[in-house]
Amino acid sequence: MTTDEDLSALATEAPDPRFAQIDRMSVAELAALMNETDHQVPQAVQAALPQIVPAIEAASRAMADGGRLVYVGAGTPGRIGVLDASECPPTFSTPPELVVAVIAGGPAAIANAVEGAEDDEDAGAQAMDEVGIGPKDTVVGIASSGRTPYVVAAVRRARELGAVTLGLSCTEHSVLSAAVDHPIEVVVGPELVTGSTRLKAGTAQKLVLNMISTIAMVQLGKTYGSLMVDLHPTNHKLRERAVRMVRTIADVDDGAAREALAASDFDVKTAAVALRLGLPVEPARARLAATGGRLRHALEED
């Protein structure tokens, strides 16, 4: 797709004279230098907000219409996509199929590099067919260089299939940006270790994916204020968090919160509606269902 000369011109592959002597530095000097360079990342994300906001708005609309959020990447970007997708079910009680990650080389590539996987355009396109991409879905291609063949082919195929497409890269005017509906370019510059895009580029990608998935979930009613009311309380810490949330939302004491949670299978939203509106569990559950699970609407609408 590109020549070696093209690759050497990429910001993600460029050396920086400031880092030319890092092998001579002390641990303290290296830590300070890395910390200094990492400060550039949130600034670069901020500069990309005019691209990020409409991309998230489009993804949120598609998800509200029943679509999925699908990340696709190779190497480090693929693993970052896997991480973000895997955190959605425990955080927001989403079904595993709602936020999906596709990585070049398949699951084996999460822990080990799969030789040649990122260059396989046919596999990238085929992966979109295999996960059944359709018009309601949002596909986010992630590639630090903005030119990874697997990823570019995947988003092109997703676009053919009618999906909303986003492209997240760390270079300007990339092939990936040209292939998608919503390009997001977070330009963080050369890495401390030349070409090691798990550093600033990886951090930038994680920050943007945090925004995409979290804001989409907020838009879908998965929070009440800042409270993650759709959490699935699978351990003691999360059960105690559920109790605190119900106490706060319903303005009740600890005992009442625990009793309501026990009666509602530890569903925070159902318990909160039951207590705030003085309803039995099933009517409270039905009221929530009528508002699409949006707790604020269930509590405030007549």
pLDDT at residue 165 is higher than 60: yes
pLDDT value of position 7: 62
Closest CA to 15 of 235, 154, 190, 152: 190
pLDDT value of position 191: 83
Output phi, psi for 167, to 5 deg: -130, 115
pLDDT at residue 96 is higher than 50: yes
Beta bridge partners of 100: 70
pLDDT at residue 5 is higher than 50: no
pLDDT digits (tens, 9 = 90+) for 207-234: 999 999 999 999 999 999 999 999 888 8
pLDDT at residue 201 is higher than 80: yes
Give 114: exposed, middle or buried? Use CB within 10 Å, 0-12, 13-18, 19+: middle
- Rounded to an integer, what is the distance from CA 72 to the centroid of its chain? 11
- Stretch (H or E) spanning 164: strand 164-169
pLDDT value of position 26: 94
pLDDT value of position 28: 96
The C-alpha atoms of residue 228 and residue 41 are separated, in whole angstroms, by: 27
Other CB atoms closer than 10 Å to residue 5's CB: what's the count?
A: 7
Q: Of the residues 36, 118, 240, 300, which is catalytic?
A: 118
CA distances from 135 to 62, 63, 159, 162, 212 (A): 9, 11, 9, 4, 19
CATH 1.10.8.1080 intervals, the chain: 236-300
| pLDDT (average), residues 21-40 | 91
| pLDDT (average), residues 267-279 | 96
Cα angle for residues 115, 203, 172 (degrees, 5° grid): 80
| pLDDT (average), residues 233-249 | 94
Which residues have C-beta within 8 Å of that of residue 131, sequence separation ≥ 6? 70, 100, 102
Q: Return the CATH architecture of domain 4-219.
A: 3-Layer(aba) Sandwich (3.40)
Highest mean pLDDT among 5-14, 16-25, 192-201, 229-238: 229-238
Angle between helix axes 200-219 and 49-64 (nearest 10 degrees) is: 40
pLDDT value of position 233: 86
Q: To the nearest whole number, what is the mean pLDDT of the chain?
A: 92
Q: Of the residues 5, 87, 185, 300, which is catalytic?
A: 87
pLDDT at residue 160 is higher than 70: yes
Place of tokens 């605190």: 244
The HSE-up count of residue 153 (CA atoms within 13 Å, CB side) is 19
pLDDT at residue 1 is higher than 70: no
Q: Return the CATH architecture of domain 236-300.
A: Orthogonal Bundle (1.10)
pLDDT digits (tens, 9 = 90+) for 38-51: 999 999 999 999 99
User: Is residue 118 flagged as an active site residue?
Assistant: yes
Angle between helix axes 40-47 and 49-64 (nearest 10 degrees) is: 70
CATH 3.40.50.10490 intervals, the chain: 4-219
Residue 115: pLDDT band by 50, 70, 90 thresholds? confident
